[in-house]
Amino acid sequence: MRIVVDRNMPLAAEAFGTLGETLVRDGRSLTNADVRDADVLAIRSTTRVNAELLEGSRVRFVGTATIGIDHMDIAYLESKGIAWCFSPGCNANSVSEYVTAALLHLATKHGFSLEGKTMGVIGVGNVGSKVVQKARALGMKVLMNDPPRQRQAQDDGIVSDFVNIDDLLAGSDIVTLHVPMEKGGMDPTFHLADAAFFDKLRKGSIFINAARGAVVATDALLASIRSGTLAHTVLDTWEGEPGGYRDDVLGLVDLATPHIAGHSFEGKVAGTEMVYRAACKALALPATWTSDGLLPPPLVPEVQCRVGGRPCDVVLHEVVRQVYDIIADDARMRARPAGKDKAAHFDGLRKNYPMRREFRFTRVQCPDAANVLRNSLHDIGFYFCNRS
């Protein structure tokens, strides 16, 4: 058996090597010739899976180690009898930590408190539900919008806390998107954030998109920034990425990153393992490989800090930045070398992304922390312990 895997899937060679010959390739540049003799294809979102890639190949299974599937032609796969999978939830915690880091950066830089603010979370699945948890850990109120889940709750006779999108936009200080990219169906999300969307926001709002670039209408976003409707903007996904993102937008947003919100090492490994297990199931093979014991030691095993009368957000930001420096990600996105095209720069940042570990692998020592801060550190994911 021959398996082609994306080089940006950690431990993929080890996992799929238990099944057969494994070839590691660059995901975005995969061609029909690369996969013609493959039985299994394991990818991430940079690979367009369609007839052009697969026609004439012997591929029997395609798995993406991502939560989105808009890069895959599902109708084509199913018409050819090719089994497929995606990896819902694999990087949910990573994205929620990205949002946490972004908010703490904004609060510290601009001198406002997150406590008491209202965050509107649009899309409350695997990722959005983690974002809700961390928003509450930071002392925020939360409004949630998710039409499919609201309908399901109604069908099940469950009273839910979901609100309609107009009420969410009008009632939120911060709005964050965590929806799939859908052009059709009952709940299309293509250009969900359009001019009418932004017109319903409070003036001076904060906007975050770590979902898909095309769920935001770029012209409408730009107009909202320039008008002051948006005081602060964080973009991890961009309409037209990798090379079509706009420099005028890049120049005006507070934090700009190259679609890496979900790129924690643990999130990527979880995606690898989910695709491996799905491939084994589809091909009726025993799943013997596991990542247990293969994760490297944490980069930052311990952080020590003191409050010293500082606001909670400032202390939290100090702790978080030692584990995940979102400001460095922003700086790399903006530092495109002269003569290097945008697509190559964007893809290069993703391909060569430095290892980022999740908060849960770091122990925090903060002897003078009050209970509120201790609880916040614990609830956003750190292992908190005191030392006298």
Q: Active-site residue among 97, 241, 266, 358?
A: 241
Q: Which amino acid is at 297?
A: P
Summarised one tens digit per residue, pLDDT across range 126-135 is 999 999 999 9
- Nearest by Cα to 118 from 163, 149, 63, 155: 163
Q: Which pLDDT value is given to residue 158?
A: 86
| Domains, the chain, ordered by start | 2-86+264-282 (3.40.50.720), 92-256 (3.40.50.720), 302-385 (3.30.1370.170)
Q: Which pLDDT value is given to residue 383?
A: 87
Summarised one tens digit per residue, pLDDT across range 14-67 is 999 999 999 999 998 999 999 999 999 999 989 999 999 999 999 999 999 998
Percentage with pLDDT > 90 across the chain: 93
Can you tell me the mean pLDDT for 71-82? 96
Summarised one tens digit per residue, pLDDT across range 343-380 is 999 999 999 999 999 999 999 999 999 999 999 999 99
Q: Active-site residue among 2, 212, 232, 332?
A: 212
Give the confidence band of 386 by pLDDT, cuts at 50, 70, 90.
Answer: low
Annotation says 357 is catalytic: no
Q: Token digits for 369?
A: 């922390």
Strand order in the sheet with 21-25: 21-25, 2-6, 40-43, 61-64, 83-85
Annotation says 345 is catalytic: no
Q: Active-site residue among 259, 263, 317, 332?
A: 259
Residue 31: DSSP 8-state: -
For residues 39 and 58, the answer to whether their CB atoms sit within 8 Å is yes
Can you tell me the mean pLDDT for 265-275? 96
Residues counted in the chain: 388
Before 297, cis peptide (omega within 30)?
Answer: no
